[in-house]
Amino acid sequence: MMSFKRIFKYLFFIPFFILSGCDLFKSSKVPASEIKSASSWSLNDEHPSYSDCEDLNKEENFDCFGSIVSESIIKYISEEIVDVNVEIDEEIKLVINVDKEGFFSLLSIDASDFVKNNIEGIEEIIENAIYNIPQALPAVKVNVEEYVNTKFELPIRIISQESS
């Protein structure tokens, strides 16, 4: 049978260890400004890319990525838009998202009413063009080594001549 001293010793030390270990479960508060600063895009972070662009320096890589995206969109749009009866020379702005898996989606289109009214289905055509961009390598937030969603704005100039 256990002695009283031994039982007392266990009853005293077990709660002591439990209470002294509670510091391990304390959460520390990180200021919102520090979170925002760590989350902001930095020069070390990697923007979305394609394997064809990987061996290039950072600026050339970005240009290569932009060329692949632009060429894909322009090719799709030029194949889809065939019947425009007015002269158009306008820029539209697309806000595009590249998700953590490298897939593209359209967030918004900023086009004039003139363009929307004179190119039938332009918004749907552009949306389909975005979804048909080849999957990219996603952006990487280097300080946490995580793939991240990225959005960017892409201006596109729509030019057509009046058909006779």
**73-117: pLDDT as tens digits:** 989 988 987 778 889 899 999 999 999 999 999 999 999 999 999
How far is Cα 140 from Cα 49, in angstroms, rounded to an integer? 10
Token reading at 105: 């989606």
Q: Are 78 and 130 in contact (CB under 8 A)?
A: no
More confident residue, 145 or 3: 145
Burial of 69 (0-12, 13-18, 19+ CB in 10 A): buried
**What does the pLDDT look like over 7-55, one tens digit per residue?**
555 555 555 445 454 555 555 676 666 655 555 656 677 889 999 998 8
Q: Which of these, 161, 156, 160, lies nearest to 73 by C-alpha position?
A: 156
pTM of the model: 0.72
Number of alpha carbons in the 13 Å side-chain half-sphere of residue 69:
31
Say what the pLDDT of residue 125 is. 93
